[in-house]
Each structure stands twice: as structure tokens, then as C-alpha cells.
Structure 1
Amino acid sequence: MPDFFLIAFLLLNLGKSGGAIRPVVTLAPNWGNILYYDNVTLTCDVPSTGPEEPRTYSWYRNKSLISGGQQRLQIISSSVQDTGDYQCQTGAGDISDPVFLNVSKNFVILQRPPSAIYEGDPLTLRCHSQKDFTAKNTKFYKDDKEMQSSDTDPELYIPIIHRNMSGMYKCTNRIQRKDSSTVSEHSDVFRMSVKELFSHPEIKVSPERITEGGHMIVTCDTRPDPSRGGTKLQFAFYRDGRNVQEFSVSDTYRVRSAQLEDSGKYTCEVMTTSKTVRKMSDGFYIHIQDEKIQPGYIIAAVIGSLVVFIVSAVTVWKCKKRNQGQNQEMNTTAPTTDPDPESVCYTYLDISQLPKGPRMKHDELNVTYATVLNSDM
């Protein structure tokens, strides 16, 4: 793990007992898998928060206490029995998170770091063979496609890892025993899953309905992975593709007095301070509404009302014509029973095509209902 990742991780792993800092186990060399007879040193790292004081250290494998009371635990000529989760503890303080070490008895292994692999990180993979053998040729593959071939370099270095680099990785070595002329080819594979450093950003706006002169707040919402503490992000905002706020630590764009020209499609971009990971949100259209009713809307409303009145009048006239032929005798008083279904007229008015304008207040709306009791009224 690079030093700056380690420092950030240590500072953010505060323990629960009196504010003590939780220790972190690191490996040297920094491989999560090794071959039997390999050597490895585990270190219990605790950043200093004041004057140095003598510390006592305890080491655990698979949650069982093992020998070793020093800050460093050395494993010389490892064996398969050394495989397990390693943790350390200082005094009576908090115990560290586990780090898994895998010791295998193979001719060749594909080595990778012990920690999770996140987008934006650099990554080194190594095709490692037993000490008694010499590697003649090393090849790396991803999803069965060759990535690198070398007679001298057993490592594959990727400066920046992206999410689409997840997949099945494989390395092959042509190895020869130092005391023999026989050459054989061996390989190892592992499935790499690149974790998301922070979620895809999303534009959120408040309030939902913004009128001219009102306050507008646009937020770029994203969620960093809590397992990777200390990820520092910067945010930028755009309207119709033009930058309205440069990159900064603020995830909010504010307009204290929104104007009609502030309407448009808004997007935001999030990137790490190292600029290794950048993500753009989907577009979100924000409409600033005019608080005044425009004359054009009033004319459209009047025309719409006239259309509704004319259609209603024609419908009533048709009903009267039909009822004149069906009813010969009419009472002069209003009926006391439900009307004959054959004497009731229904109509459907499609006003979806009428011009749409700002919403009007309730006291500006007038609705008239009419009931035809008989054909002579």
C-alpha cells in the first residue's frame, strides 16, 4: 500500500477506547500470497500522537495468540501452516483489522497486494516462482488476452486501475531448476474485482419548484466507500455544458436570486484530489418559473374557456333534441326519482392540447355545473 494511503488509513482508524488509534498490520514485501519457504515481515503500525512511550505488542493468527511480543513479526522459511488472518494489539488497546496471508505450495503463483483494490490505485502484480527455479519467460493475461511478455521482468505494473479492469488475471512462467536442464511451464490465476471508490454522482435540487428571484440549491450527491476512509473529493458544476462553478471541496452550487436564464440542464463532476478518478453525473433539467402570469397565457386561457363553453352548449342542444322525441308528457316540477338512464347525456372533453401556463391560484378558477331536468326548461 502506498505511504499516503497508509497514513490516511491510520489517522482515520480511531479506536473506541479513550480515542486511541487502532493499529494496522502491514507486510514487507507487500504481497498477500507467498510461496512456502518465502520470508515475510509483518509490522504493527501505530502513528505517534504524542511523546513516545514504551509499548507492548501482541500478535494473533486466526484470533489465537501467537508468540512474538515485538512490533515486527518475522516469518522465516514460511510453511502452509502460516496461512491465516493476522492481527496485532498494543497493550490493552484496540486490536487491528485482520490481514490475510496465504502460503501455498506451488511452482508459480500470481502475487497481489493483501488489501482491497480500488479504482484509481496503482497496482503491481508479480509472477513468482520457487527459489530453486529460474524463470525463462513471463506472460500476463487478462480474460485470456495477453497483456505483457518478458524474459527479464516478472512484474506487471498498472499505474491507474479502473473499474472495467476487473476480470480473470493469469500469469505463466517457463521455469528451469537451477541444477537441471528441464524446462516446464506453470501458471496461476486469480479473479480481480476493482472496488468503487465513490458512487456515481447525482444532481439534486432544492426546492422542487423554483420561481424567479427565489433561492436555488444544487447538490452533487455521491457516497464514498466507508471502508476506504480519507478519500478527498472535489466538485464542479455545469449548466448546458458550460462551467458555472470550478472544482472545489464544496458539493453545493447556490444561486441566491434565481433568474429565468438560470434554467437549463445541470451536471456535476466529481474527482479525487489526485485526479486519478473522475465521474460525471447525468443531466438534470431545472426550470425557473416566472412568478408573473404572462399576457399570452391569459389569452390562451380565455380561448380555452370559449372552446369548452361552445362544446358544452352543443352537447346540451343535442340532449334536448333527443329528449323531445322520447318524452310526450312532462311534469312541471322537478323529478323526485333518479332520471331514466336513457335520458342522461354524457360528454368527454379533451383539453390536453390547450396551452399550458403557470399554475393559477384557486380563487382565480371558476367551474360551472349544469343539469338538464327536462327538455322544456
Structure 2
Amino acid sequence: MAGDTGMAGKVALLLWAQILSLAGAQTTQLLVEPPWRPAVLWDRVTLTCQGSGTAGDTTWYKDGQRWWQEGGEHFTVNERGTYTCERPGSGCSPPVKVSDDQVVLQVPAWALLEGETLTLRCWYRREKSATEVFFYREETELGRLHNGTELSLSPLQLKHSGRYHCKAWVNNGVSWEWEESVPVTVTVHGEHLTAATLTAP
């Protein structure tokens, strides 16, 4: 399943790039692999900066401050924070947050369209174990899983846009307690996705 998700992400990002190219837009993009947001530090996240110019022209920023990183246009993240990159001629990329929270709700990092499937992924640190996970849209419970981490919503509709979070019954090594994720905003786009929609913040 992870392979399929990765391929879908690459296809979606390729289509995104083609639409932007057709529209004549020159924008810098920050791609994340695995393609989930927010990215999590303990998932061996690789960031790749794509834009005009050469890899050596890439300037990286972490938490709003210029940040030097060997390796040019891509690297594996080893610190939590919010990252952006800049390329001459195409400007600064949208930010990518890399989280190190105890429990994180992740959604796909590509644009979500009506009719597609949305996979919600509730992750907790690898050294922890959880027996029960609850998923919410706003304050409405969507479902619960026993010994599972992913919940799928299909087919997506515009009304599925909103803020999602999850809550897990986690063993922290000493005792069991509820851990809750930070909310993540999901935007479902109509069938006719335009370059303007894709580049909107």
C-alpha cells in the first residue's frame, strides 16, 4: 500500500508541475518523501527543492532563518522545524513542516480532488505502542481502529474539507494515556483544478 501511495504522490506532483508549466508559472516547489504532511522526523524524510537554475543555486531556510545544508537541492531531515527553499528566478517555496510530536495525524502531501480517496494516517513514535486510535473531523468522530493507524474516506466531496485530528491510547513505557495530534487542515478541490487553485496558500 505504501508503494501505491508513493507512486500516486509522484504522479500527482508531476501533473501539478505540468499544469503550472502550461500556465506559464515559474514557482519553486519543495517536495517531501514520503509524501505526507506534516512530515515526521522519525520517518526519514527527504526534502527536494525544485525550481529554475541549478542545484547549487538553492538557498535553504529553517524556521524563517537562512540555514546552510550541504548537498544542494535535496537532503534527509534530522531536525524538526519548518523548511523552505529558494531558487533564483522562481522565488521561495511554500513551507514544509517536519514534526516531532508524540502523535501526528498525516494526510497526503498532494492536492486532493473530488472523487478520490483520502487516507488519514495517525502515527505515534516508533518506541510507543497504541491499542486504540480515534479519528475526528472538527469535533465529529469518524471512526476508531484497534491496532491500526490508517482510515480511508471515499469518495471525497467538497464537504470533506475541514480540520482533522486523531487521538491514540498510547503506552509511553510507564503507563497508558491519551495522546492527541495537532489538527491538520484538509482542502478538497473540485474536478477542474487550476494552476491558481494549486498555488493558493
Q: What's the TM-score once normalised by structure 1's chain length?
A: 0.42
Cα distance change of structure 1 residues 225 and 100 upon mapping to structure 2, 3 Å threshold = same
Superposed counterparts of 1:118-157, under 5 Å: 118-157=113-152
Q: How many residues matched?
A: 189
> Matched residues in 2 for 1:189 and 1:20: separation?
33
Equivalents in 2 of 1:122, 1:94: separation in Å? 32
Contact 2:111 2:189 survives alignment (8 Å): no
Aligned to 2:158: 163
Alignment equivalent of 2:33, drawn from 28, 31, 52: 28
1:5 maps to 12
The answer for the alignment partner of 2:5 in structure 1 is none
Structure 2 alignment gaps of length 5 or more = 1-7
The change in CA–CA distance for 1:87 and 1:159 in structure 2 (over 3 A counts) is farther
Structure 1 residue aligned with 2:181: 188
What residue identity is the alignment partner of 1:140?
Answer: F
Match of 2:95 in 1: 99
Q: Report the identity percentage.
A: 20
Does the 8 Å CA contact 2:112/2:189 hold for their aligned counterparts?
no
Query: In structure 2, what is the Cα distance between the partners aligned to 1:97 and 1:191?
Result: 20
Which residue matches 2:71? 69
Structure 1 residues 35 and 149, CA gap change in structure 2 (3 angstroms): same
TM-score for the superposition, normalised by structure 2 = 0.72
**1:289 corresponding residue in structure 2:** none
Q: Which residue of 2 aligns with 1:288?
A: none
Partners of 2:158 and 2:190 within 8 A in 1: no
Q: 1:32 to 1:57 in 2, by over 3 A?
A: farther
CA contact (8 A) 1:59 1:69 kept: no
Q: Is the 8 A contact 1:42 1:72 kept in 2?
A: yes
Query: CA 1:168/1:97 → structure 2, altered by over 3 Å: closer, same or farther?
Result: closer
**Structure index of larger Rg:** 1
1:13 is paired with a residue whose SS is helix
Output one character per residue of 1:81-111: Cα deviation in whole Å (capped at 9) or x when no partner: x2x241243xx5534532321424x321212
CA contact (8 A) 2:83 2:97 kept: yes
Higher strand share: 2
Could you tell me how far 1:176 is from its partner in structure 2?
A: 1.0
Whole-Å Cα distance in 2 between the matches of residues 195 and 20 of structure 1?
Answer: 22
**Structural mapping, 1:307-326, within 5 Å:** none
Instruction: Check 1:85–1:8 CA distance in 2 against 1; reply closer, same or farther (3 A cut).
Output: same
Please tell me whether the aligned partners of residues 26 and 51 of structure 2 are also in contact (alpha carbons under 8 angstroms).
yes
Deviation, structure 1 residue 26: 0.9
